[in-house]
Amino acid sequence: MTFSVAVSGASGYAGGELLRLLASHPDLEVRTVTAHQNAGQKLVSAQPHLRSYGDLVLQPTTAEVLAGHDVVFLALPHGKSGEVTERLSPQTLVIDCGADHRLESATDWAAFYGGDHYGAWTYGVPELPRATGDQRADLASSRRIAAPGCNASTVALSLAPGILAGVIEEQDLVSVLAVGPSGAGKSLKVNLLASEILGSASPYAVGGSHRHIPEIQQALRAAGATAPTISFTPVLVPMSRGILAVSTARIIPGTDAAGIRRAWETAYAGESFVQLLPEGEQPRTADVQGANTALIGLEIDEAARRVVVTTAVDNLVKGTAGAAIQSANIALGLPETTGLPVNGVAP
Amino acid sequence: MTFSVAVSGASGYAGGELLRLLASHPDLEVRTVTAHQNAGQKLVSAQPHLRSYGDLVLQPTTAEVLAGHDVVFLALPHGKSGEVTERLSPQTLVIDCGADHRLESATDWAAFYGGDHYGAWTYGVPELPRATGDQRADLASSRRIAAPGCNASTVALSLAPGILAGVIEEQDLVSVLAVGPSGAGKSLKVNLLASEILGSASPYAVGGSHRHIPEIQQALRAAGATAPTISFTPVLVPMSRGILAVSTARIIPGTDAAGIRRAWETAYAGESFVQLLPEGEQPRTADVQGANTALIGLEIDEAARRVVVTTAVDNLVKGTAGAAIQSANIALGLPETTGLPVNGVAP
Amino acid sequence: MTFSVAVSGASGYAGGELLRLLASHPDLEVRTVTAHQNAGQKLVSAQPHLRSYGDLVLQPTTAEVLAGHDVVFLALPHGKSGEVTERLSPQTLVIDCGADHRLESATDWAAFYGGDHYGAWTYGVPELPRATGDQRADLASSRRIAAPGCNASTVALSLAPGILAGVIEEQDLVSVLAVGPSGAGKSLKVNLLASEILGSASPYAVGGSHRHIPEIQQALRAAGATAPTISFTPVLVPMSRGILAVSTARIIPGTDAAGIRRAWETAYAGESFVQLLPEGEQPRTADVQGANTALIGLEIDEAARRVVVTTAVDNLVKGTAGAAIQSANIALGLPETTGLPVNGVAP
Amino acid sequence: MTFSVAVSGASGYAGGELLRLLASHPDLEVRTVTAHQNAGQKLVSAQPHLRSYGDLVLQPTTAEVLAGHDVVFLALPHGKSGEVTERLSPQTLVIDCGADHRLESATDWAAFYGGDHYGAWTYGVPELPRATGDQRADLASSRRIAAPGCNASTVALSLAPGILAGVIEEQDLVSVLAVGPSGAGKSLKVNLLASEILGSASPYAVGGSHRHIPEIQQALRAAGATAPTISFTPVLVPMSRGILAVSTARIIPGTDAAGIRRAWETAYAGESFVQLLPEGEQPRTADVQGANTALIGLEIDEAARRVVVTTAVDNLVKGTAGAAIQSANIALGLPETTGLPVNGVAP
């Protein structure tokens, strides 16, 4: 069975990645693409790598244009999704790749984003270990799904197994991420210019201000934490895509190494897209480039009494567009892996 | 007054950087350059960016060749410096850019390096805050100086002020570093190939095995720590040079924000090469490329109860060759900043 | 119908790319992978991005191991394919991604490669415009196919339409290519280290010595040239993959602009993988990353009386592994585009 | 003697590089820096790599602010220099790093730039081989100097020796350049974003439209050409700085290899900043990063009957700011090499 699809924000990086992946999805058929500034242009003019879409033209992003499809993917700047989706049919499967529907807490929303809070939709990270309930069951019955923040889901997948298994403390978590600039979108800002980023590494949103922090905490609470604290620092590095997250947590005293490793093994046993590497192996972002795969390395630092979890993700795929399609597959009753690459484009 | 200089390991990255900086040093004159495999070649064949050295030829690295200079810089693989220097005059100023003379503890040496331990020389980080004694005074009277490990000195400069001032805990420190591959030297290893590193971020020496850990701990003990623990993870990123270290530490309860900032301000007041940025500003490695400058950003994460110190350093300059020359300036009684650039090559 | 496949040289870059593409090919099933140094290892240890191959183990590269498959892809260093294939059944479809079977002229082989010349197989560039005969017909009936050199096929596709149509001169062609280092393979050479290539552009094989020159000339002769001359210069730039070829040719006097453009339009009308961009648009290598697509820009410089053809190709896909699989599809009677992506992984 | 200096456009890339170089110039003292949007800010806020300038504040770019200095460097967008300089004293040495005063031909100006043509100033490429007159003598007596276009001067230095010596034809020159994005300035354009440039090579201004073409032709006419034609194509590649120009020209029949090489040897004998490499060696942009050096490789392609000249330049130094300071040194009667680095920052 073929489902009709509309993609809004199709001229941006997240929208482009949705379309790249959807082009080889056997059951989802893109009928409509929309954009803001580029409306009226051919898609391929705005996204010259999307050769398969031929003469498809970008339409304006309105509820009217998006209506009448089985699935609507939203890849809009934050604050833009709420309004549009209120006017779409409740039967339409809507996947929001923006931030508008990720946070349950209105307080967190006000503190980190501001503006109207539209409430939280089902969180689009199927593999997320949870203390109660089941993420996939929730997704299967949902028509409104919030694709995750790329950094947030990477850190959540890194740490949630240890929280769920009770082998790491939920206080004093520390995550530092090397991230590529595509996560910041196609924004015209001086600090995103190639001349500024080539040959340079630079941290941003340092000291607890990054908007993905409450999203991480929410995911860790779902895994059983009560009031987790995390020091979270992203560092912009010269690669277009990719997140390499180094996350560390204090080991709960008395836990042995085998028990720690078992926590992650158990959490991701049988998963296609989240893979724990053997001891001594570390992931590289190149290995997941273009793929819906998260690779996780796990080491125990006895001297520092911390676990160190290293996780590689393509921010545009597993971090955004791939997670969105994977969640859509579940919601539509399709095999979860349909149309999603597991092998990275390396070197 | 002009001092005669010999540089060994002149065909490698550290040796090349020493020579680039020495070329514009008014008081140090390079007379002799030595190498292992490239001996007999012109220096400029092995280091085509060093145009100013004309027809200077690489000689073999022996004590005989190195003898008779006022200053000898060693940029050799670890394990190679000890033997050579035992045969140099005690009056000769010897600066070792390798690891052989950095660690005071024979136990640490055995655990992290192995092989003969030649003991520690004066540590070549003049700005290092110390609980007792004075780093510059020690350097001024020394003829044997160990230039620091690039990652180690970056983290030590990041955290030592907080230790010295008693505002951060010495336990449970966490440092994650984005580093360029030149720190690994001109080694023929698959993981250092351009195809492997371009477009990719990859951690290494994860879980407490990196050789710079005991060096950091030693520097923090000099700043007053008793038995500091640190989780230390370097991540290789696609820039040839540069270290961006994110270091976090738990704030000692009861310490206020102003007191924390004052610790770093006091430590580096009046320093030419170690500069604390205003609140809200973060360093970029491009800003220190080719310069002997360490830029430090400092933020307080109230929610996580941690300070976050972000430090940018050029691994080959302030991390190695610049630190070596700065230390040599002090030991020779020259103005400390002689011949060392403070401005980075950006963009 | 499913064809069984063996891939030799599976631990290298070309072999890895064959396997990445074959993983989503519906009709080709990889049964055997071989390597030299890495034999005995799991494939995924040598190629950690190829997650879908599970526990498949690398076997040694021998005729015995390769025998018994419907299709054998060879991705071996030059000089290694000839020997192995002489011992494979003539019914086996063998696609050589190495150079051994590309050149028809023994003289050219001796001048540019040396060693035994095993003769030329059918050239695996299906879209190659030819003056007589038909490349696809030849491929359809062939059991021995030589995948092209990446630079050579890029330049041949750039210039052959103009030669065939008689609108450009075959003398005094000039091609300069910006190329990523993966084209040089996983070789341990100093000039391929990341530290050497990051932030730097460097030409190599300057002045007519590059081995792809006779291959280009052979392809242009197939398009109707008699004795073409070409100045060919590759420049290594800091991107892991990709070729951006700028090829210029003198316009034959009296030819009008429309006629020139028509030459390329005609040559590639209806092609899935070779696409001529509209006037004023230029290709970018990012737009074809990971894809089997060649994008061609065409401009006429009236003042210089030259056409300028700019062509972007992924050296590992359309330049090597994709061309090999596309040719195999034809030889096996499958739809030519089976299993081959047309959309690039950008940004 | 110390000369007072003002730098306009100090918040841009060319202005920043002027200031980086001037910081270590013993005879030029920066008193005033100006900018447009950033006026009122500290220089170090806009240029965080320029640590040595302390609290110097950017002033607005007006003739009043610039007046009263011995030397004024202009690094303004094209079209902005003419007006300002008409109001500066004729005794003030003014060096324009923009395009406004480069082209002698009003026709060329109208065709490639448009708007008011302010006429040509003395061209700031001291080493430019000329058929008659002497570039340095002209610079020594000039108070108005036009620093060159970075691409234009690179190509002019590559080809002028062959034109002057009569060993290459002036028709049918071809130059293709790999260039970093800093040459395009700190402009907020989508195609200059890091996500667009990382991992990608893309040509621009293809087919004879680039504004540096008439400037190259003018320089070649100064070397003796009558009506040179050149196909000129720049390709943007992922490095912040650097130009690697591959320039080819037809050899005039009857010229022998030794005579060709002698043309370049003669032209640049004794030059500090323009160096011809030995046969078989090619330049890399890393070798001239941050330096005022142009490295030139020269090969003869007997089969193609062309010389191939490969030239590496740092676009911001030898291509702009270094050329400007070198020219100022001459005009002020200082030793030409004062304050200018010859060694590159590599790796």
Q: Which of C58, C147, C150, C216 is catalytic?
A: C150
Least CB-CB distance to C190: which of B188, B195, B240?
Answer: B188
Which CATH architecture group holds D3-148+317-332? Answer: 3-Layer(aba) Sandwich (3.40)
Least CB-CB distance to D345: which of B289, B293, B342?
Answer: B289
Instruction: Report d(CA A138, CA D101) in Å as an integer.
Output: 68
Q: Which of B169, B172, B175, B176 to mutate to test the interface with A (most CBs of A within 10 A)?
A: B176
Regions of chain A where pLDDT drops below 50: none
Residue A247 pLDDT: 98
Tell me the angle at which helices C150-165 and C257-268 cross, rounded to the nearest 10 degrees: 130
Q: Which of D43, D292, D343 to mutate to test the interface with B (most CBs of B within 10 A)?
A: D343
Which CATH architecture group holds D151-313? Answer: 2-Layer Sandwich (3.30)
User: What is the token pair recorded at D90?
Assistant: 């004729």
DSSP state of B320: I
pLDDT of B80 strictly over 90 = no
How many Cβ atoms are within 10 Å of C2's Cβ, its own excluded?
10
Q: Exposure pattern of B294-309 as b/e (b: 16+ CB <10 Å)?
A: bbbbbbbbeebbbbbb
Chain C: closest CA distance from residue B196 (Å): 8
> Which other chains touch chain B, taking contact as 3+ CB pairs less than 8 Å apart?
A, C, D
- Do residues C61 and C37 touch, judged by C-beta distance below 8 A? no
Instruction: Report d(CA D275, CA D260) in Å as an integer.
Output: 16
Residue A82 pLDDT: 83
**Cβ neighbours of A189 in D, within 8 Å:** 188
Answer yes or no: do B198 and C13 touch at CB < 8 A: no
Distances (CA, A) of C64 to C16, C67, C68, C88: 21, 5, 8, 8
Instruction: Report d(CA B77, CA D335) in Å as an integer.
Output: 41
What confidence tens digit (pLDDT) does each residue in C211-226 have?
999 999 999 999 999 9
Chain A: closest CA distance from residue D181 (Å): 6
Answer yes or no: do A230 and B202 touch at CB < 8 A: no
What confidence tens digit (pLDDT) does each residue in D238-257 have?
999 999 999 999 999 999 99
Q: Which of A74, A147, A150, A323 is catalytic?
A: A150
Check CB contact of C315 with chain B, cutoff 8 Å. no
Average pLDDT of span C178-206: 97
Q: Report the chain C residue with the minimal C-alpha distance to residue A197.
A: C199
What confidence tens digit (pLDDT) does each residue in C303-317 have?
999 999 999 999 999
Chain D: closest CA distance from residue B20 (Å): 7
CA–chain centroid gap for D284, Å, is 17
Torsion of CA A204, A209, A211, A215, to 10 degrees: 120
Tell me the residue length of chain D: 347
Query: How many A×D Cβ pairs under 8 Å?
Result: 65
Question: pLDDT category, D326, cuts 50, 70, 90?
Answer: very high
CA–chain centroid gap for C198, Å, is 25
Backbone φ, ψ for residue C182 (5° rounding): -65, -20
In sequence order, the β-bridge partners of residue B299 are B308
Chain A: closest CA distance from residue B129 (Å): 23
Average pLDDT of span D37-46: 96
Cα–Cα–Cα angle for D43, D273, A199, nearest 5°? Answer: 45
User: What is the token pair recorded at A347?
Assistant: 């070197």
Q: Which of A193, A196, A197, A204 to mutate to test the interface with D (most CBs of D within 10 A)?
A: A193
Answer yes or no: do A345 and C289 touch at CB < 8 A: yes
Q: In what order do the strands lie in the sheet with A122-123?
A: A58-60, A28-35, A3-8, A71-74, A93-96, A144-146, A122-123
Residue C86 pLDDT: 87
Positions of B marked active-site: 150
Least CB-CB distance to A198: which of D186, D189, D194?
Answer: D194
The H-or-E segment that residue D14 falls in is: helix D13-22
- Do residues B75 and B97 touch, judged by C-beta distance below 8 A? yes
Residue D83 pLDDT: 82
- Do residues C256 and C316 touch, judged by C-beta distance below 8 A? no
**Cβ neighbours of D198 in C, within 8 Å:** 239, 347
Average pLDDT of span C177-194: 97
Cα–Cα–Cα angle for D102, D121, D35, nearest 5°? Answer: 75
Tell me the angle at which helices D150-165 and D213-222 cross, rounded to the nearest 10 degrees: 30
Which B positions 260-289 lie with beta carbon below 8 A of chain C? none
Answer yes or no: do B291 and D345 touch at CB < 8 A: no
Check CB contact of D204 with chain C, cutoff 8 Å. yes
Answer yes or no: do C188 and B186 touch at CB < 8 A: no
Chain C: closest CA distance from residue D175 (Å): 9
Q: Provide the ipTM.
A: 0.97
Instruction: Report d(CA C274, CA D255) in Å as an integer.
Output: 41
Q: In what order do the strands lie in the sheet with B71-74?
A: B58-60, B28-35, B3-8, B71-74, B93-96, B144-146, B122-123
What confidence tens digit (pLDDT) does each residue in A128-154 have?
999 999 999 999 999 999 999 999 999
Q: Which of C169, C182, C191, C206 to mutate to test the interface with D (most CBs of D within 10 A)?
A: C206
Residue the block writes with tokens 């791939």: A322
Check CB contact of C165 with chain B, cutoff 8 Å. no
Question: pLDDT category, B86, cuts 50, 70, 90?
Answer: confident
Collapse the DSSP code of C6 into the 3-class scheme (helix H, G, I; strand E, B; otherwise coil) and give the result: strand
**Cβ neighbours of B240 in C, within 8 Å:** 194-195, 198-199
What confidence tens digit (pLDDT) does each residue in C32-59 have?
999 999 999 999 999 999 999 999 999 9
Check CB contact of A16 with chain C, cutoff 8 Å. yes
Residue C5 pLDDT: 98
**Cβ neighbours of B291 in D, within 8 Å:** 49, 51
Average pLDDT of span D306-329: 98
Check CB contact of D299 with chain C, cutoff 8 Å. yes
Torsion of CA B326, B332, B337, B340, to 10 degrees: -60
Answer yes or no: do C241 and A347 touch at CB < 8 A: yes
The H-or-E segment that residue A34 falls in is: strand A28-35
Instruction: Report d(CA D230, CA D213) in Å as an integer.
Output: 8
Start-end of CATH 3.40.50.720 domains in chain C:
3-148+317-332
Residue B319 pLDDT: 98
Answer yes or no: do A289 and C49 touch at CB < 8 A: yes
Start-end of CATH 3.30.360.10 domains in chain D:
151-313
Instruction: Report d(CA D326, CA D323) in Å as an integer.
Output: 5
Q: Which of D150, D312, D316, D331 is catalytic?
A: D150
- Do residues A19 and A193 touch, judged by C-beta distance below 8 A? no
The H-or-E segment that residue A52 falls in is: none
CA–chain centroid gap for D277, Å, is 20
Give every CB contact of residue B107 below 8 A, 6+ residues apart in sequence. Answer: none
Q: Report the chain D residue with the minimal C-alpha distance to residue B313.
A: D49
Backbone φ, ψ for residue C160 (5° rounding): -55, -40
Residue the block writes with tokens 């030669």: C163
What confidence tens digit (pLDDT) does each residue in C89-135 have?
999 999 999 999 999 999 999 999 998 898 999 999 999 999 999 99
Instruction: Report d(CA C109, CA A43) in Å as an integer.
Output: 46
Which D positions 240-259 lie with beta carbon below 8 A of chain C? 240-242, 244, 246, 248, 250
Chain D: closest CA distance from residue C197 (Å): 8
Question: pLDDT category, D78, cuts 50, 70, 90?
Answer: confident
Check CB contact of A201 with chain B, cutoff 8 Å. yes
- Do residues A177 and A246 touch, judged by C-beta distance below 8 A? yes
Which A positions 39-68 lie with beta carbon below 8 A of chain C? 47-52
Check CB contact of A197 with chain D, cutoff 8 Å. yes
Answer yes or no: do B190 and C194 touch at CB < 8 A: no
Instruction: Report d(CA C192, CA A142) in Å as an integer.
Output: 50
Check CB contact of A189 with chain D, cutoff 8 Å. yes
First-residue to last-residue Cα distance in chain D: 36
Task: Report the relative pairing of strands C243-250 and B294-301 from DSSP bridges.
Answer: unpaired
Nearest residue to C176 (alpha-carbon basis) of B10, A258, D247, D46? D247
Residue D211 pLDDT: 95
Least CB-CB distance to C347: which of A182, A198, A346?
Answer: A182
In sequence order, the β-bridge partners of residue D7 are D33, D73
pLDDT of C255 strictly over 90 = yes
Residue B324 pLDDT: 98
Q: Which of A206, A241, A252, A315 to mutate to test the interface with B (most CBs of B within 10 A)?
A: A206
Check CB contact of C197 with chain B, cutoff 8 Å. yes
Collapse the DSSP code of B246 into the 3-class scheme (helix H, G, I; strand E, B; otherwise coil) and give the result: strand
Cα–Cα–Cα angle for D38, D43, D49, nearest 5°? Answer: 120
Nearest residue to B296 (alpha-carbon basis) of B346, B244, B342, B255? B244
Q: Report the chain A residue with the minimal C-alpha distance to residue B241.
A: A199
Q: Exposure pattern of C64-78 as b/e (b: 16+ CB <10 Å)?
A: ebbeebbbbbbbbeb
Question: pLDDT category, B259, cuts 50, 70, 90?
Answer: very high
In sequence order, the β-bridge partners of residue B173 are B230
DSSP state of D201: -
What confidence tens digit (pLDDT) does each residue in B209-244 have?
999 999 999 999 999 999 999 999 999 999 999 999
Check CB contact of C196 with chain B, cutoff 8 Å. yes
Give every CB contact of residue A282 below 8 A, 6+ residues apart in sequence. Answer: A297, A310, B202, B203, B204, B206
Average pLDDT, chain C: 97
Answer yes or no: do A48 and C281 touch at CB < 8 A: yes
> Which other chains touch chain A, taking contact as 3+ CB pairs less than 8 Å apart?
B, C, D
Distances (CA, A) of C264 to C257, D58, D139, D236: 12, 53, 49, 25
Answer yes or no: do C240 and D195 touch at CB < 8 A: no
Helices then strands (H, E): number in chain A? Answer: 11, 14
- Do residues C199 and B289 touch, judged by C-beta distance below 8 A? no
Burial of D9 (0-12, 13-18, 19+ CB in 10 A): buried
How many Cβ atoms are within 10 Å of D181's Cβ, its own excluded?
30
DSSP state of A317: I
Average pLDDT of span B311-318: 98
Check CB contact of C105 with chain D, cutoff 8 Å. no
Average pLDDT of span D110-122: 93
Residue A78 pLDDT: 82
